[in-house]
C-alpha cells in the first residue's frame, strides 16, 4: 500500500511540475520570443505612445469624424471585453427588427450623402460583440460622414481606407477587411485629431 502511494505522489508531483510549471513557462517564453506583440494582446499605441486599445477588440467611436464599428451587445454599454456575447435574437425577433430599423434611420440621418443601402454589418452585431473589423464596403459607405466632419475631400478619406484594407489570411482564408481602430488612428495621423471629444 505504501509503495503504491509513493508512486502516486511522485507521478502527481512530476505531472504538476511538467504541466503546471515547465509547459506554461516554455509556451510563454516562446510566445514572447517569436511574436511578443501578439502574445501581449496586440496592443495599439497612438502617436504619443499611449495604449489606446487592441487590434483584436472593437471599441465604441461616437464622433462622426471617426469610422464606427459594428454594433455591440457585449455588456450593458456594448464593447465590454469582459462580457463578450451576441444578442441571441433570431431573425424572427420583433425586438431585433425594431432595433435594426432604428439603427438604419440613425445611420442614414448621420450620413445623408452615402449612396446605396446601409451595409448589413453596420446594423447587426457579431457573435462576440467585439469584432474589430468591417468590410471595405462598410467602411467606404461611411466616408461621406467622416469627410464632412473632418472637412476634407471624400477622396482623401477613401485613400486612407484603401491603404488599410487587409487581405485574406494566406491569400484564401476569411474576407478582405478593415480594422476600425487602426483606420481611425490613421485618420488622426493624416488629418489631425478632430476638435470634438466623441472619439
Does residue 141 belong to any structural domain of this protein?
A: yes
Does residue 36 belong to any structural domain of this protein?
A: no
d(CA 165, CA 182): 10
Q: What are phi and psi of 52, to 5 degrees?
A: -115, -5
Q: What are phi and psi of 167, to 5 degrees?
A: -75, 170
Residue 79 domain boundaries: 41-191
Does residue 101 belong to any structural domain of this protein?
A: yes
Distances (CA, A) of 51 to 20, 96, 97, 116, 181: 31, 35, 37, 36, 12
Q: Are 111 and 144 in contact (CB under 8 A)?
A: yes
In angstroms, what is the C-alpha Rg of the chain?
23
Does residue 56 belong to any structural domain of this protein?
A: yes
Does residue 33 belong to any structural domain of this protein?
A: no
- Indicate the pTM of the whole model: 0.81
d(CA 16, CA 29): 19
Per-residue pLDDT of the chain (199 residues; tens, 9 = 90+): 888 999 999 999 999 999 999 999 999 988 888 888 778 888 888 888 899 899 999 999 999 999 999 999 888 888 888 888 877 788 899 999 999 999 999 999 999 999 999 999 999 988 888 999 999 999 999 999 999 999 999 999 999 999 999 999 888 898 999 999 999 999 999 999 887 655 5
Does residue 1 belong to any structural domain of this protein?
A: no
* Total domain count, the chain: 1
Does residue 198 belong to any structural domain of this protein?
A: no
Amino acid at each position: 500500500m505504501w509503495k503504491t502511494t509513493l508512486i502516486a505522489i511522485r507521478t502527481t508531483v512530476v505531472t504538476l511540475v511538467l504541466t503546471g510549471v515547465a509547459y506554461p513557462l516554455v509556451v510563454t517564453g516562446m510566445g514572447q520570443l517569436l511574436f511578443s506583440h501578439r502574445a501581449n494582446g496586440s496592443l495599439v499605441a497612438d502617436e504619443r505612445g499611449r495604449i489606446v486599445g487592441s487590434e483584436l477588440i472593437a471599441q465604441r467611436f461616437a464622433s462622426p469624424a471617426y469610422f464606427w464599428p459594428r454594433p455591440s451587445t457585449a455588456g450593458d454599454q456594448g464593447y465590454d471585453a469582459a462580457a463578450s456575447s451576441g444578442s441571441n435574437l433570431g431573425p424572427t425577433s420583433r425586438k431585433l427588427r425594431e432595433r435594426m430599423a432604428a439603427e438604419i434611420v440613425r445611420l442614414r440621418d448621420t450620413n445623408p450623402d452615402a449612396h446605396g443601402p446601409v451595409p448589413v454589418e453596420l446594423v447587426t452585431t457579431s457573435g462576440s460583440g467585439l469584432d474589430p473589423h468591417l468590410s471595405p464596403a462598410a467602411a467606404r459607405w461611411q466616408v461621406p460622414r467622416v469627410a464632412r466632419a473632418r472637412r476634407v475631400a471624400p477622396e482623401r478619406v477613401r485613400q486612407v481606407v484603401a491603404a488599410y484594407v487587409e487581405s485574406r489570411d494566406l491569400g484564401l482564408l476569411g474576407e478582405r477587411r478593415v480594422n476600425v481602430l487602426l483606420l481611425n488612428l490613421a485618420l488622426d495621423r493624416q488629418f489631425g485629431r478632430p476638435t470634438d471629444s466623441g472619439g
